Amino acid sequence: MTESDPSSFHIAIVDDHESVRSALGSLLRSYGYQTSSFDSAESLLAGAAPDAYQCIISDLQMPGMSGIDLLEQLRRQGSTTPLIMLTAFAEPAIRQRALQSGASCFLSKPFQSNDLVRCIRQACQDL
């Protein structure tokens, strides 16, 4: 996979808000990425193996499993899939926990689309 071929990247979007999933999906497809959307961490885990994706973008606060819970579960299962955390509540302690748990990037909402794409490229550069 190369940075110049985003069509080879399949990105999972996990957010409990349909409008956010739709907007992120449209944005990433406009850059050439393939996307799949999930309304919860549980629905992602119930689907294809997380390693089927080159990157996972997850909201932090969701009903049921949080984004950090999802990240920690994936790491316990041995997944090394990069995970980018999005949140409207960017408290320093939460940011630190997410990054210590293995998040590739932590973005506060609202964010610039180029910041998200930069995070994806950085997270996936070694794939």
Per-residue pLDDT of the chain (127 residues), as tens digits, is 444 577 789 999 999 999 999 999 999 999 999 999 999 999 999 988 878 999 999 999 999 999 999 999 999 999 999 999 999 877 889 889 898 999 999 999 889 999 999 999 999 886 6
Q: What angle do CA 115, 34, 111 make, to 5 degrees?
A: 20
Domains of the chain in sequence order: 6-124 (3.40.50.2300)
Reported pTM: 0.92
Residues 6+ apart with CB under 8 A from 105: 84, 85, 119, 122, 123
Q: Determine the residue type at 27.
A: L
Strands 83-87 vs 105-108: parallel, antiparallel or unpaired: parallel
